[in-house]
Chains A and B, each alone.
Chain A
């Protein structure tokens, strides 16, 4: 079966993962690939753990993929990175937006937010790419564009989606008045240096 690229975008409801998925899928389509995207709406959205899966290649059947099959896991939060690490293929790459959002279970003291998430990630996915997208987004004047910054960082790895396809996807998906900001965020994301090894 021809190779399909599998990408999981994981994080917390409200972090802009649905938009990031839409941009990624649109860019893959612009680049001429077959593409499928799967997301979940409704009850799962409200501050819960969320996943969007994007797949592209010459032929794509299933809209979803399973454990051990993600070429890339783009995690928007530390604990969610760890939670969704089983998705990663043995030779897959983890990209982390290094931020921490307490789930209600740890905020209420009923469970512990693991203190050693970064160590665990480093042990299980050595050499993962770690970014301060939120901080960078704030410097651009809007913390909400952290999602597009992460996409920019991801785009470096996706050699079969050319720059032009990303540019077209941004123009098609982002409303006019936010386009300049998002283009800038994407460009900054592409040039963002990873904290390797992540500062523990």
Chain B
């Protein structure tokens, strides 16, 4: 019986079958479930690392020691891990090492839609792209063999539609293998210039061998049907092509870097019109065109967003199904901070104080949307602190009216260095750590501040206030943001403090604690319809006729609306006069 697995679950299963001994990651959509799923195999030592760079470095160490190691991250995570990644290409591996990059075309849950295939090309390492869950599992095994045979790290790239689509998977057998023996080899592992120059020669030779192997391995599939149209494609796009152009001949590339010129030419010569259909950038197309092979690609296929069967049909002038039309002005339903979310309390207070807020990556990024519109920026993990410092440097007036907000998990990921920068350079930066005791956005993963590991083992929890003090911050306050007055006072004190100051806004994620208090109600005799409470953007509070209503089954009794109501018209259910 086949099992129905997502691409991520399939990769975990593939890691188990390939006898991976160490697996590391920092959570990030759409990659998170790989490690969450890997923990069902106790044979694999699996862990969350504080960030992707550390995760990769741990995996490199495991490889050096002779173990097969897998490291997983979302596309932008590889930007963080790019430093070890680029030089790992030179050292190569001892035990096999596979990096899974889960890209997010269409940006379902990301700040950009960069095409990480370039990371294989830039590092000159092989790139595998599965088209479904079965291949996601199988390619993990292929990748490890490839890694050890060619002494190279391997990039296994998925996209959201592979990572988060489920399909039937035939699982295989677990095969235990001993560690590859360790030998001290400074010329391979110590990348000082004299040794690295030699390794670069090795990397270039390896690339040629890999291109040759791409042709011979049989991994890339030639599917000849009608030869009027020939399509070169990879990843989930292959599935779209098969459905949109069922009669077309297809070269399905499993190994999308390096390409075998011979194989591409052979296919090109046998079809009348050659197309490359790929999501995002013309990664394959540019290479093929550079060989002087006539090819059509991005002139008809979009460079942005996800592709689909219908988009390909449209590009080829094929008929589209008719469909029902709906009013274009239909009320949208954007994601929102949950009822009772502590971030709402923090962000609302910052808005009331009229502050500029540099933002970061996490649930609180949702506070950028109306009605809160509390954020001024969001670039990448950890950027909020450096950006607040930069604003203060540009014009010191900003120091008094700007704060950086960053989640606890994000602060530990790459926020610490930003704060260190502010302390070191004496920048008057105010940082608010939105400490909800979890990595909420990706589904409540633990981190070094929670005291629990990926495998739910108790561990030492980093003490955020002590950590911040140790960096040299002289004013550190811990406040519950749901006490609006105290929180606002703390932020004002921090802003007034000459030098870097930190407010730790501490209250656990409402979804994590699952504890609710008596819901609140509106007293219609006191409500003057000022709609102040509507401005907090709580899904439990809505405009109802002239007044405001609180949905009793959605309200968790956090009290924020009651605290900010100018009329004192919101009180606990049961306290409202009938």
Contact = CB atoms under 8 A, between A and B. Distances in A.
Interface of A: 1, 12-13, 22, 25-26, 29, 34-49, 60-69, 79-80, 82-83, 85-90, 102-114, 120, 124-125
A106 B542 contact: yes
Contacts of A61: 239-240, 242-243
Given A29-B168, A61-B243, A68-B323, A108 B534 contact: yes
A47 B168 CA distance: 30
Contact of A1 (B240, B246, B323, B441): B246
Interface string B327-344: 101111111111000000
Given A63-B161, A68-B321, A109-B534, A42 B167 contact: no
A44 B242 contact: no
B542 A107 contact: yes
A40 B539 contact: no
A114 B33 CA distance: 38
A29 B4 contact: yes
Given A39-B165, A62-B309, A68-B323, 5 more contacts: A44-B335, A61-B240, A66-B320, A69-B321, A103-B334
Interface stretch (B43-51, B201-209, B261-269, B363-371): B363-371
B171 interface: no
Nearest to B553: A143
Contact of A68 (B4, B240, B322, B534): B322
24 contacts: A36-B132, A36-B166, A41-B108, A42-B441, A43-B29, A43-B109, A43-B335, A47-B335, A62-B309, A63-B161, A64-B161, A68-B320, A69-B321, A86-B325, A104-B334, A104-B370, A107-B539, A107-B541, A108-B535, A109-B543, A110-B371, A114-B327, A114-B331, A125-B324
Q: Which 6 A-B pairs have the closest CB atoms?
A: A42-B109, A42-B29, A68-B321, A68-B323, A48-B335, A107-B542
A82 B326 contact: yes
Given A35-B4, A110-B371, A62 B30 contact: no
Contacts of B365: 43
A38 B165 CA distance: 4
B283 to A, nearest CB: 21
B239 A42 contact: no
B337 A46 contact: yes
A48 B167 CA distance: 25
Interface string B524-547: 000000010011010101110000
A2 to B, nearest CB: 11
Nearest to A82: B326
A69 B324 CA distance: 11
Given A109-B534, A114-B331, A124 B240 contact: no
Nearest to A90: B322
Most buried by B among A35, A44, A102: A102
A36 B336 contact: no
Nearest to B243: A61
B308 interface: yes
Q: Secondary structure of the B side of the interface? A: loop
Contact of A40 (B32, B108, B442): B108
A66 B308 contact: yes
A106 B30 CA distance: 30
Contacts of A120: 326-327
Contacts of A36: 132, 165-167
Contacts of B33: 41
B321 A67 contact: yes
B2 interface: yes
Contacts of A89: 321
A47 B334 CA distance: 7
A3 B514 CA distance: 44
Contact of A47 (B309, B336, B441): B336
B164 A106 contact: no
A1 B537 CA distance: 48
A127 B132 CA distance: 37
Contacts of B531: 109
Contacts of A103: 331-334
Contacts of A60: 167
Contacts of A22: 4, 166
A155 B338 CA distance: 32
Contacts of A63: 132, 161, 165-167, 236, 239
Contacts of A64: 161, 165, 308-309
Contacts of A86: 323-326
Given A62-B308, A104-B539, A41 B333 contact: no
Nearest to A38: B165
A88 B541 CA distance: 33
B346 interface: no
Nearest to A13: B335
B200 to A, nearest CB: 38
B176 to A, nearest CB: 29
B565 to A, nearest CB: 16
A42 B321 contact: no
B321 to A, nearest CB: 3
Contacts of B308: 62, 64, 66
Given A1-B246, A61-B243, A109-B543, A88 B333 contact: no
A48 B333 contact: yes
Nearest to B541: A107
A34 B134 CA distance: 12
A62 B243 contact: yes
B332 A105 contact: yes
Given A46-B337, A65-B309, A79 B331 contact: yes
Given A35-B167, A63-B161, A63-B165, A85 B326 contact: yes
B114 interface: no
B160 interface: yes
A85 B323 CA distance: 8
B417 interface: no
B465 interface: no
Contact of A83 (B167, B330, B366, B537): B330
Nearest to B163: A41
Given A42-B30, A44-B108, A83 B326 contact: yes
Contacts of B338: 46-47
